[in-house]
Amino acid sequence: MHILRTGRADLVIFYGNAEHLSIIFINMATEKFNGWVGKDAAAADGNLIYEEFQPKRWEETDVDIEVTHCGMCGSDMHTLSGGWHKPTYPYVVGHEIVGRVVRVGSKVSHVKVGDRVGVGAQSDACLECDLCKNGNETYCDHFVQTYDGIHKNGDRSMGGYADNARVPGSFVINLNPYSNIPSEILAPMLCGGATMFSPLKRYGAGPGKKVGIIGLGGLGHFGVMFAKALGSDEVVVISRSKSKEADALKLGADRIIATGDEPDWAKKYGSSLDLIVNTADSPNMPLTDYLGLLAPMGTLVQVGAPEGNMPGFNGFKLLSKNRNLTGTAIGSRGEIREMLQLANDRGVKTWANPFPMSKVNDAIKAFHRSEGRYRIVLVNEKNASANL
């Protein structure tokens, strides 16, 4: 008997001899995983359904992961609700995946069965363009999201609110080197942490710099910790009130600017920060005043993604002080590894709020009530164990 797996992940079994050859053809596209599926916009309110879904067809470049943990990201809600674009249901969301390798394609060499691995918000790219070759694969024209994307073989990508995930091996991160980080702490770093680490590192957070973080939420709390871990002289949280001041200081912030409590904040703190990372996603945010907080030649990096347009702003806030306004997406694979090493070495820890994955709909409702404080992590009771 001879077994052949084709490039489309079909299974062909040959048996017999040259004179009496029999062939069995099995279409592996019928293979199913189990997970929490969003069927319509109501899913974003906590109405996911546990049922079978079809993963991408197996290819020898793939890795199958038994999911133990998956962070809950704001992107999950924007996608399920259709807030960012017209949705294509059904969805299995979740792109802060940690788990155990259970199957490895023959063309994957950096992980093996049993390894602890992780997957962030990107699961594939062309890997051939200059962006990919220079460590900027997050901006590749052929970017594939870990969910709500289309793989190179034409199949839809499905995420980590599930018992298993199938991901192209090139974007599976081997987590064995980061043994000091428990999985529930590590999972949210794969998207939320990397989304903040990337602009901080790219735009010079570190010794000699004063850094502002707008918004103290799931993203912002990472911004404070990583800005401090990178050695920034001062880290300032910019928030509407002082309700989270105690948390900000515990995370490592030096002070807080409460825009709702200090009517003259824009003037009082003008030109005082070298770098600002803005996690706010409101189309009504006071962007002109935020820009005014920058020192000459300072940079504001937008990472919050509004469902509508960004607000307008006074151009002289840029021109008069040679300030810069830019934006970044998620972190690259290299940035993820660098961030995890920093977290491993410096003891940076997500403020994680774990929920059993079986209670995912309760977790979504808690998310909408802003009870994450600061990242909800789904723990798959079926697969999780003490060492993961």
* Cα atoms in the 13 Å half-sphere on the side-chain side of 296: 2
Give the number of domains in the chain.
Answer: 3
pLDDT at 129: 98
Residue 156 and residue 77 share a domain: yes
Q: Are residues 319 and 232 part of one domain?
A: yes
Predicted local distance difference test score (pLDDT) of residue 385 = 73
pTM of the model: 0.91
Quote the pLDDT of residue 388.
Answer: 57
Length of the chain: 388
Do 132 and 87 share a structural domain?
yes
Same domain, 216 and 116: no
- Bond prior to 374 in cis (omega within 30° of 0): yes
Q: What is the dihedral of CA 329, 335, 336, 340, to 10 degrees?
A: -130
DSSP 169: G
Asked if residue 336 is part of any domain, the answer here is no
* pLDDT of the residue at 306: 83
Let me know whether 116 and 239 are in one domain. Answer: no
**Residues 100 and 168 placed together within one structural domain of the fold:** yes
According to the model, what pLDDT value does residue 296 have? 98
C-alpha–C-alpha distance, residues 241 and 235, integer Å: 17
- 254 and 105 in a single domain? The answer is no
- Per-residue pLDDT tens for 311-361? 999 999 999 999 999 999 999 999 999 999 999 999 999 999 999 999 999
Which class for 305: exposed (0-12), middle (13-18), buried (19 or more C-beta within 10 A)? middle
pLDDT at 22 (0 to 100): 46
CA dist., res. 362 & res. 372, Å (int): 12
Residue 340 lies in a domain: no
104 and 24, same structural domain? no
Q: Is 23 exposed, middle or buried (0-12, 13-18, 19+ CB in 10 A)?
A: exposed
- pLDDT at residue 30, rounded to an integer: 66
Question: Is residue 156 within 8 Å of 110, Cβ to Cβ?
Answer: no
**343 inside domain:** no
Residue 338 lies in a domain: no
Does residue 120 sit within a domain?
yes
| Residue 126, domain member (yes or no) | yes
Characterize the bridge pairing of strands 164-168 and 294-302.
unpaired
Q: What's residue 18's pLDDT?
A: 47
Per residue in 78-97, pLDDT (tens digit) is 999 999 999 999 999 999 99
User: Coil, helix or strand for 195?
Assistant: helix
Residue 272 and residue 248 share a domain? yes
Domain that holds residue 287: 192-327
The string of DSSP codes covering 229-263 is HTT-SEEEEEESSSTTHHHHHHHT-SEEEETTT-T
Which pLDDT score is estimated for 15? 39
Residue 342 lies in a domain: no
For the chain, list the strands marked E by DSSP.
2-5, 11-16, 21-26, 33-37, 49-53, 62-71, 97-104, 116-119, 122-124, 144-145, 164-168, 173-174, 210-214, 234-239, 255-258, 273-278, 294-302, 324-327, 352-356, 375-379
Q: What is the CATH number of the domain that holds 234?
A: 3.40.50.720
Closest CA to 211 of 61, 90, 203: 203
Are 187 and 238 within one domain? no
Domain co-membership, 187 together with 50: yes
| Weakly modelled stretches of the chain, pLDDT under 50 | 1-9, 13-22, 24-26
Residues 225 and 298 in one domain: yes
Residue 363 lies in a domain: yes
